[in-house]
Protein backbone atom coordinates (compact mmCIF):
# COMPACT_ATOMS: atom_id res chain seq x y z
CA UNK A 1 0.00 0.00 0.00
CA UNK A 2 1.37 3.35 -1.05
CA UNK A 3 1.32 6.21 1.37
CA UNK A 4 2.78 5.37 4.70
CA UNK A 5 2.50 8.27 7.08
CA UNK A 6 5.25 8.60 9.63
CA UNK A 7 5.51 10.88 12.58
CA UNK A 8 9.00 11.79 13.67
CA UNK A 9 9.78 12.55 17.28
CA UNK A 10 13.01 14.34 18.06
CA UNK A 11 14.05 15.73 21.41
CA UNK A 12 10.50 15.72 22.71
CA UNK A 13 9.48 15.80 26.35
CA UNK A 14 7.83 12.47 26.96
CA UNK A 15 8.29 10.07 24.04
CA UNK A 16 6.04 7.44 25.63
CA UNK A 17 3.05 9.74 26.02
CA UNK A 18 3.46 11.23 22.54
CA UNK A 19 4.00 7.84 20.94
CA UNK A 20 0.68 6.61 22.29
CA UNK A 21 -1.02 9.82 21.27
CA UNK A 22 0.23 9.70 17.67
CA UNK A 23 -0.49 6.01 17.38
CA UNK A 24 -4.08 6.63 18.47
CA UNK A 25 -4.21 9.57 16.07
CA UNK A 26 -3.50 7.44 13.00
CA UNK A 27 0.27 7.49 12.46
CA UNK A 28 1.35 4.40 10.50
CA UNK A 29 4.82 4.28 12.03
CA UNK A 30 6.89 6.35 14.42
CA UNK A 31 10.49 7.46 14.18
CA UNK A 32 12.09 8.36 17.52
CA UNK A 33 15.34 10.27 17.20
CA UNK A 34 17.61 11.41 20.04
CA UNK A 35 15.08 10.37 22.66
CA UNK A 36 17.50 10.55 25.55
CA UNK A 37 19.32 13.66 26.66
CA UNK A 38 22.58 11.76 26.66
CA UNK A 39 22.83 9.23 23.83
CA UNK A 40 25.76 7.57 25.58
CA UNK A 41 23.53 6.50 28.42
CA UNK A 42 22.60 3.05 27.13
CA UNK A 43 20.52 2.21 30.20
CA UNK A 44 18.27 5.24 29.80
CA UNK A 45 17.93 4.55 26.09
CA UNK A 46 16.95 0.94 26.69
CA UNK A 47 14.38 1.82 29.34
CA UNK A 48 12.76 4.46 27.13
CA UNK A 49 12.58 2.06 24.17
CA UNK A 50 11.06 -0.64 26.40
CA UNK A 51 8.49 1.78 27.79
CA UNK A 52 7.49 2.79 24.24
CA UNK A 53 7.36 -0.83 23.02
CA UNK A 54 5.16 -1.85 25.93
CA UNK A 55 2.43 0.64 25.02
CA UNK A 56 2.77 0.97 21.24
CA UNK A 57 1.08 -1.36 18.75
CA UNK A 58 2.54 0.11 15.54
CA UNK A 59 6.12 -0.15 14.23
CA UNK A 60 8.79 2.24 15.42
CA UNK A 61 12.34 3.16 14.50
CA UNK A 62 14.90 4.46 16.99
CA UNK A 63 17.86 6.64 16.04
CA UNK A 64 20.50 8.63 17.85
CA UNK A 65 23.42 7.08 19.62
CA UNK A 66 23.57 3.81 17.66
CA UNK A 67 27.30 3.25 17.09
CA UNK A 68 27.79 -0.49 17.41
CA UNK A 69 26.00 -3.78 16.70
CA UNK A 70 25.53 -4.08 20.47
CA UNK A 71 23.74 -0.71 20.58
CA UNK A 72 21.43 -1.87 17.78
CA UNK A 73 20.92 -5.20 19.48
CA UNK A 74 19.87 -3.59 22.77
CA UNK A 75 17.38 -1.32 20.99
CA UNK A 76 15.82 -4.09 18.90
CA UNK A 77 15.66 -6.49 21.82
CA UNK A 78 13.93 -3.72 23.78
CA UNK A 79 11.12 -3.76 21.23
CA UNK A 80 12.04 -1.36 18.41
CA UNK A 81 11.51 -2.61 14.86
CA UNK A 82 14.42 -0.76 13.31
CA UNK A 83 17.43 1.27 14.19
CA UNK A 84 18.38 4.39 12.29
CA UNK A 85 22.05 5.13 11.62
CA UNK A 86 23.32 8.53 10.57
CA UNK A 87 26.78 9.90 11.49
CA UNK A 88 27.92 6.47 12.71
CA UNK A 89 27.21 4.92 9.30
CA UNK A 90 29.20 7.66 7.54
CA UNK A 91 32.11 7.12 9.96
CA UNK A 92 31.93 3.30 9.78
CA UNK A 93 29.94 2.16 6.72
CA UNK A 94 30.58 -1.52 7.61
CA UNK A 95 28.27 -1.05 10.61
CA UNK A 96 25.29 -1.14 8.21
CA UNK A 97 26.11 -4.66 6.98
CA UNK A 98 26.98 -5.90 10.45
CA UNK A 99 23.54 -4.96 11.80
CA UNK A 100 21.75 -6.21 8.67
CA UNK A 101 23.52 -9.60 8.96
CA UNK A 102 22.22 -10.02 12.48
CA UNK A 103 18.69 -8.64 12.21
CA UNK A 104 17.96 -8.44 8.48
CA UNK A 105 17.98 -5.41 6.18
CA UNK A 106 14.42 -4.50 7.20
CA UNK A 107 15.83 -3.58 10.64
CA UNK A 108 18.37 -1.03 9.35
CA UNK A 109 17.47 2.49 8.27
CA UNK A 110 20.19 4.83 7.07
CA UNK A 111 19.22 8.44 7.73
CA UNK A 112 20.83 11.00 5.46
CA UNK A 113 20.77 14.73 6.18
CA UNK A 114 21.36 16.43 2.86
CA UNK A 115 22.28 20.05 2.19
CA UNK A 116 23.10 21.34 -1.31
CA UNK A 117 23.41 17.75 -2.50
CA UNK A 118 26.01 16.82 0.13
CA UNK A 119 25.74 14.57 3.17
CA UNK A 120 25.88 16.38 6.52
CA UNK A 121 26.60 14.61 9.81
CA UNK A 122 26.19 15.46 13.52
CA UNK A 123 22.61 16.61 13.32
CA UNK A 124 23.14 18.32 9.98
CA UNK A 125 25.85 20.63 11.32
CA UNK A 126 28.90 19.11 9.69
CA UNK A 127 29.12 19.00 5.89
CA UNK A 128 31.06 16.14 4.30
CA UNK A 129 32.42 15.68 0.79
CA UNK A 130 30.06 12.77 0.12
CA UNK A 131 27.32 13.31 -2.46
CA UNK A 132 23.87 12.41 -1.14
CA UNK A 133 22.80 10.23 -4.07
CA UNK A 134 26.11 8.32 -4.05
CA UNK A 135 25.95 7.74 -0.29
CA UNK A 136 22.35 6.50 -0.53
CA UNK A 137 23.42 4.02 -3.22
CA UNK A 138 26.36 2.82 -1.13
CA UNK A 139 24.25 2.53 2.04
CA UNK A 140 21.66 0.39 0.23
CA UNK A 141 24.41 -1.77 -1.30
CA UNK A 142 25.81 -2.29 2.21
CA UNK A 143 22.50 -3.59 3.51
CA UNK A 144 20.35 -0.60 4.50
CA UNK A 145 16.72 -1.63 4.15
CA UNK A 146 15.40 1.91 3.99
CA UNK A 147 16.69 5.43 3.45
CA UNK A 148 15.33 8.27 5.61
CA UNK A 149 16.19 11.30 3.54
CA UNK A 150 16.01 14.72 5.19
CA UNK A 151 16.57 17.87 3.16
CA UNK A 152 18.30 20.41 5.39
CA UNK A 153 17.46 23.06 2.78
CA UNK A 154 13.72 22.38 3.08
CA UNK A 155 13.52 21.36 6.76
CA UNK A 156 11.47 23.71 8.91
CA UNK A 157 10.38 25.95 6.01
CA UNK A 158 7.02 24.23 5.45
CA UNK A 159 7.11 24.89 1.73
CA UNK A 160 7.03 21.25 0.74
CA UNK A 161 9.49 18.36 0.55
CA UNK A 162 12.54 18.40 -1.72
CA UNK A 163 10.89 16.36 -4.47
CA UNK A 164 13.80 16.56 -6.88
CA UNK A 165 16.32 15.23 -4.36
CA UNK A 166 13.85 12.57 -3.15
CA UNK A 167 13.20 11.34 -6.69
CA UNK A 168 16.94 11.28 -7.46
CA UNK A 169 17.71 9.19 -4.36
CA UNK A 170 14.78 6.88 -4.97
CA UNK A 171 15.93 6.28 -8.55
CA UNK A 172 19.42 5.38 -7.28
CA UNK A 173 18.32 2.64 -4.84
CA UNK A 174 15.99 -0.40 -4.81
CA UNK A 175 14.92 0.01 -1.17
CA UNK A 176 12.08 2.22 0.15
CA UNK A 177 12.84 5.91 0.66
CA UNK A 178 11.16 8.11 3.31
CA UNK A 179 10.99 11.79 2.41
CA UNK A 180 11.59 14.17 5.31
CA UNK A 181 11.84 17.92 5.81
CA UNK A 182 9.50 20.61 4.59
CA UNK A 183 5.99 19.32 5.24
CA UNK A 184 3.60 22.25 5.68
CA UNK A 185 0.33 20.84 4.40
CA UNK A 186 -1.50 17.68 3.41
CA UNK A 187 -0.86 18.53 -0.24
CA UNK A 188 2.90 18.56 0.46
CA UNK A 189 2.65 15.04 1.89
CA UNK A 190 0.60 13.90 -1.11
CA UNK A 191 3.19 15.45 -3.46
CA UNK A 192 5.98 13.54 -1.67
CA UNK A 193 4.04 10.28 -1.82
CA UNK A 194 3.65 10.73 -5.57
CA UNK A 195 7.44 10.39 -5.95
CA UNK A 196 8.38 8.06 -3.09
CA UNK A 197 7.28 5.37 -0.63
CA UNK A 198 6.69 7.23 2.60
CA UNK A 199 6.75 10.70 4.11
CA UNK A 200 7.80 11.83 7.55
CA UNK A 201 5.98 14.66 9.27
CA UNK A 202 7.17 16.25 12.48
CA UNK A 203 6.74 19.89 13.36
CA UNK A 204 3.27 20.34 11.89
CA UNK A 205 1.88 17.63 14.17
CA UNK A 206 3.97 18.52 17.21
CA UNK A 207 2.37 21.97 17.14
CA UNK A 208 -1.09 20.51 16.92
CA UNK A 209 -1.02 16.91 18.15
CA UNK A 210 -4.82 16.69 18.07
CA UNK A 211 -4.79 17.57 14.37
CA UNK A 212 -3.27 14.28 13.13
CA UNK A 213 -6.57 12.52 12.26
CA UNK A 214 -7.68 15.60 10.31
CA UNK A 215 -4.34 15.76 8.50
CA UNK A 216 -4.71 12.09 7.65
CA UNK A 217 -8.15 12.69 6.13
CA UNK A 218 -6.83 15.71 4.22
CA UNK A 219 -3.99 13.60 2.76
CA UNK A 220 -6.56 11.03 1.64
CA UNK A 221 -8.63 13.83 0.08
CA UNK A 222 -5.58 14.59 -2.08
CA UNK A 223 -6.04 11.14 -3.63
CA UNK A 224 -3.52 9.16 -1.55
CA UNK A 225 -4.52 5.66 -0.44
CA UNK A 226 -3.60 5.24 3.22
CA UNK A 227 -4.36 2.13 5.23
CA UNK A 228 -7.95 1.87 6.47
CA UNK A 229 -8.02 3.47 9.89
CA UNK A 230 -10.79 4.40 12.31
CA UNK A 231 -10.63 7.25 14.78
CA UNK B 1 1.48 -24.67 31.72
CA UNK B 2 -0.75 -21.61 31.66
CA UNK B 3 1.86 -19.35 30.10
CA UNK B 4 2.16 -19.04 26.35
CA UNK B 5 5.70 -19.89 25.23
CA UNK B 6 7.35 -17.44 22.85
CA UNK B 7 10.23 -19.35 21.32
CA UNK B 8 13.61 -17.74 21.90
CA UNK B 9 16.14 -18.04 19.08
CA UNK B 10 18.52 -15.28 19.99
CA UNK B 11 17.44 -12.44 17.70
CA UNK B 12 13.67 -12.10 17.75
CA UNK B 13 11.83 -9.05 18.97
CA UNK B 14 9.91 -10.90 21.64
CA UNK B 15 9.10 -7.92 23.84
CA UNK B 16 6.37 -6.50 21.60
CA UNK B 17 4.75 -9.93 21.28
CA UNK B 18 4.75 -10.28 25.07
CA UNK B 19 3.28 -6.79 25.51
CA UNK B 20 0.51 -7.56 23.02
CA UNK B 21 -0.33 -10.86 24.74
CA UNK B 22 -0.42 -9.04 28.10
CA UNK B 23 -2.94 -6.58 26.63
CA UNK B 24 -5.10 -9.60 25.79
CA UNK B 25 -4.73 -10.88 29.35
CA UNK B 26 -2.32 -13.72 28.57
CA UNK B 27 0.88 -14.38 30.50
CA UNK B 28 3.86 -15.52 28.43
CA UNK B 29 7.46 -16.62 28.80
CA UNK B 30 10.35 -16.40 26.34
CA UNK B 31 12.07 -19.77 26.23
CA UNK B 32 13.85 -22.29 24.02
CA UNK B 33 13.33 -25.14 26.49
CA UNK B 34 11.88 -28.16 24.63
CA UNK B 35 9.91 -29.23 27.74
CA UNK B 36 8.30 -25.81 28.04
CA UNK B 37 7.42 -25.86 24.33
CA UNK B 38 5.93 -29.36 24.66
CA UNK B 39 3.86 -28.65 27.76
CA UNK B 40 2.14 -25.34 27.11
CA UNK B 41 -1.24 -24.75 25.53
CA UNK B 42 0.09 -22.30 22.92
CA UNK B 43 3.44 -21.61 21.24
CA UNK B 44 4.45 -18.58 19.20
CA UNK B 45 7.50 -18.64 16.94
CA UNK B 46 8.22 -14.93 16.50
CA UNK B 47 10.15 -13.23 13.77
CA UNK B 48 13.10 -10.95 13.39
CA UNK B 49 16.55 -12.11 12.40
CA UNK B 50 18.09 -14.28 9.73
CA UNK B 51 17.00 -17.78 8.76
CA UNK B 52 20.38 -19.48 9.19
CA UNK B 53 21.12 -18.27 12.70
CA UNK B 54 17.52 -18.83 13.76
CA UNK B 55 17.55 -22.47 12.55
CA UNK B 56 20.96 -23.06 14.14
CA UNK B 57 19.61 -21.84 17.50
CA UNK B 58 16.43 -23.90 17.21
CA UNK B 59 18.38 -27.06 16.34
CA UNK B 60 20.99 -26.55 19.08
CA UNK B 61 18.44 -26.04 21.82
CA UNK B 62 16.13 -28.86 20.74
CA UNK B 63 13.35 -26.33 20.20
CA UNK B 64 13.11 -27.31 16.50
CA UNK B 65 12.14 -30.88 17.34
CA UNK B 66 9.77 -29.77 20.10
CA UNK B 67 7.92 -27.44 17.70
CA UNK B 68 7.65 -30.10 15.00
CA UNK B 69 6.40 -32.68 17.53
CA UNK B 70 3.73 -30.29 18.78
CA UNK B 71 2.29 -29.86 15.31
CA UNK B 72 2.41 -33.64 14.70
CA UNK B 73 0.54 -34.12 17.98
CA UNK B 74 -2.17 -31.67 16.94
CA UNK B 75 -1.17 -28.83 19.27
CA UNK B 76 -1.23 -25.23 18.06
CA UNK B 77 1.80 -23.20 16.94
CA UNK B 78 1.64 -19.68 15.52
CA UNK B 79 4.55 -18.46 13.37
CA UNK B 80 5.08 -14.74 12.79
CA UNK B 81 7.15 -13.35 9.87
CA UNK B 82 10.48 -15.27 10.03
CA UNK B 83 8.62 -17.71 12.32
CA UNK B 84 6.30 -18.46 9.40
CA UNK B 85 9.19 -18.79 6.95
CA UNK B 86 11.09 -21.25 9.18
CA UNK B 87 8.13 -23.66 9.05
CA UNK B 88 8.71 -24.49 5.36
CA UNK B 89 11.00 -27.10 3.85
CA UNK B 90 13.66 -24.62 2.76
CA UNK B 91 14.58 -20.96 2.37
CA UNK B 92 16.81 -19.21 -0.16
CA UNK B 93 17.98 -16.82 2.57
CA UNK B 94 21.66 -16.86 3.62
CA UNK B 95 22.63 -19.01 0.62
CA UNK B 96 20.03 -21.72 1.37
CA UNK B 97 18.77 -23.03 4.71
CA UNK B 98 16.72 -26.13 5.61
CA UNK B 99 13.59 -25.19 7.51
CA UNK B 100 11.48 -27.11 10.03
CA UNK B 101 9.58 -28.85 7.22
CA UNK B 102 6.21 -28.52 8.95
CA UNK B 103 4.50 -26.89 5.96
CA UNK B 104 5.01 -27.88 2.30
CA UNK B 105 6.64 -25.13 0.29
CA UNK B 106 9.72 -22.96 0.13
CA UNK B 107 10.80 -19.42 0.85
CA UNK B 108 12.22 -17.26 -1.92
CA UNK B 109 13.58 -13.74 -2.28
CA UNK B 110 10.73 -11.30 -3.07
CA UNK B 111 10.58 -10.08 -6.64
CA UNK B 112 8.93 -6.74 -5.74
CA UNK B 113 10.32 -3.56 -7.25
CA UNK B 114 11.43 -2.43 -3.76
CA UNK B 115 12.81 -4.91 -1.23
CA UNK B 116 12.46 -5.05 1.76
CA UNK B 117 8.71 -4.75 1.59
CA UNK B 118 7.88 -2.35 4.42
CA UNK B 119 4.49 -1.03 5.41
CA UNK B 120 0.82 -1.78 5.69
CA UNK B 121 -1.02 -3.98 3.18
CA UNK B 122 -4.58 -5.18 2.91
CA UNK B 123 -4.77 -8.93 3.47
CA UNK B 124 -7.34 -10.68 1.29
CA UNK B 125 -9.86 -12.22 1.67
CA UNK B 126 -9.91 -10.76 5.21
CA UNK B 127 -10.11 -7.14 4.05
CA UNK B 128 -7.96 -5.78 6.93
CA UNK B 129 -4.60 -3.98 6.77
CA UNK B 130 -1.63 -5.41 8.66
CA UNK B 131 2.02 -4.40 8.91
CA UNK B 132 4.67 -6.22 6.84
CA UNK B 133 8.49 -6.00 6.99
CA UNK B 134 10.24 -8.70 4.95
CA UNK B 135 12.56 -9.49 2.06
CA UNK B 136 11.54 -13.13 1.53
CA UNK B 137 8.16 -14.74 0.90
CA UNK B 138 6.63 -18.23 0.81
CA UNK B 139 5.67 -20.23 -2.27
CA UNK B 140 3.21 -22.78 -0.94
CA UNK B 141 -0.07 -24.61 -1.52
CA UNK B 142 -0.99 -23.97 2.13
CA UNK B 143 -1.66 -20.21 1.69
CA UNK B 144 -5.00 -19.04 3.06
CA UNK B 145 -4.52 -15.30 2.59
CA UNK B 146 -2.45 -13.01 0.38
CA UNK B 147 -1.40 -9.36 0.28
CA UNK B 148 -0.50 -7.78 -3.06
CA UNK B 149 0.34 -11.22 -4.44
CA UNK B 150 2.53 -12.24 -1.49
CA UNK B 151 1.64 -15.13 0.86
CA UNK B 152 0.21 -13.44 3.96
CA UNK B 153 -1.06 -16.45 5.95
CA UNK B 154 -0.72 -20.23 5.82
CA UNK B 155 -2.62 -22.94 7.63
CA UNK B 156 -1.41 -26.54 7.78
CA UNK B 157 -2.74 -28.89 10.42
CA UNK B 158 -2.37 -27.03 13.72
CA UNK B 159 0.31 -24.70 12.39
CA UNK B 160 -0.84 -21.20 11.54
CA UNK B 161 1.64 -18.72 10.14
CA UNK B 162 1.41 -15.07 9.18
CA UNK B 163 3.89 -13.01 7.20
CA UNK B 164 2.69 -9.77 8.80
CA UNK B 165 3.32 -8.66 12.38
CA UNK B 166 0.05 -8.80 14.35
CA UNK B 167 1.88 -7.29 17.36
CA UNK B 168 2.62 -4.18 15.25
CA UNK B 169 -0.68 -3.99 13.39
CA UNK B 170 -2.75 -1.86 15.75
CA UNK B 171 -6.30 -2.90 16.71
CA UNK B 172 -6.58 -5.24 13.69
CA UNK B 173 -3.50 -7.16 14.81
CA UNK B 174 -4.74 -7.38 18.38
CA UNK B 175 -8.09 -8.73 17.17
CA UNK B 176 -6.29 -11.28 14.99
CA UNK B 177 -4.21 -12.61 17.90
CA UNK B 178 -7.25 -12.67 20.16
CA UNK B 179 -9.08 -14.78 17.60
CA UNK B 180 -6.15 -17.21 17.21
CA UNK B 181 -6.02 -17.74 20.96
CA UNK B 182 -9.77 -18.03 21.42
CA UNK B 183 -9.93 -20.84 18.85
CA UNK B 184 -7.76 -23.10 21.01
User: Does the beta-carbon distance from B120 to A81 stay under 8 Å?
Assistant: no
Nearest to B15 among A53, A59, A174 (CB): A53
Question: Mean pLDDT, chain A, as a whole number?
Answer: 90
**A76 contact residues in B (CB cutoff 8 A):** 13, 48
Distance from CA of B73 to the nearest CA of A (A): 32
Say if residue A96's pLDDT is above 50: yes
CB contact under 8 A, B114 and A55: no
How many domains, in total, are found in chain B? Answer: 1
Q: Is the pLDDT of residue A39 over 60?
A: no
Residue A144's pLDDT is 98
Task: Identify the CATH number of the domain in which residue B52 sits.
Answer: 3.40.50.880
What residues make up the domain containing B162?
4-182
- Exactly one of B57, B134, B156, B165 is catalytic; which is it? B165
pLDDT-based confidence at A206, cuts 50/70/90? confident
State ipTM.
Answer: 0.93
Burial class (CB in 10 A: 0-12, 13-18, 19+), A208: exposed
Q: Note if B128 is an active site residue.
A: no
Chain B residues with beta carbon closer than 8 angstroms to that of A101: 50
Across the interface, of A50, A107, A229, the residue whose CB is closest to B15 is: A50
For the stretch B78-113, pLDDT in tens is 999 999 999 999 999 989 999 999 999 999 999 999
- pLDDT tens per residue across all 184 residues of chain B: 689 999 998 766 789 999 999 999 999 999 999 999 999 999 999 988 889 989 999 999 999 999 999 999 999 999 999 999 999 999 999 899 999 999 999 999 999 999 999 999 999 999 999 999 999 999 999 999 999 999 999 999 999 999 999 999 999 999 999 999 998 8
| Residue A1 pLDDT grade (very low, low, confident, very high; cuts 50, 70, 90) | very low
> Known catalytic residue: B81?
yes
With respect to CATH, is domain A4-221 assigned 3.40.50.150?
A: no
Q: Which of A201, A162, A160, A180 is nearest to A28 (CA)?
A: A201
pLDDT band at A2 (very low <50, low <70, confident <90, very high): very low
Indicate which residue of B65, B128, B167, B180 is catalytic: B167
**B165 noted as active-site residue:** yes
Amino acid sequence: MKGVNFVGLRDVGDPVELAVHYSAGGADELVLLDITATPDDATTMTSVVRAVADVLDIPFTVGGGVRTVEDASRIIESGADRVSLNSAAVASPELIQAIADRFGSQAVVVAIDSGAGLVHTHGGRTPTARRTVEWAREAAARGAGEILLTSIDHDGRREGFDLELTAAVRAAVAVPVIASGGAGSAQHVADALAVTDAALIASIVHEDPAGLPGLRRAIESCGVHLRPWKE
Amino acid sequence: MKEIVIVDYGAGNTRSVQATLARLGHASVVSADPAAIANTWYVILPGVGSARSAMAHLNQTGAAEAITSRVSAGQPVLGICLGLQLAFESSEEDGGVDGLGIVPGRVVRLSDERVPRLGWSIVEPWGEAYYFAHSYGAITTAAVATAEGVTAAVSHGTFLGVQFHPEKSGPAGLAFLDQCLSLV
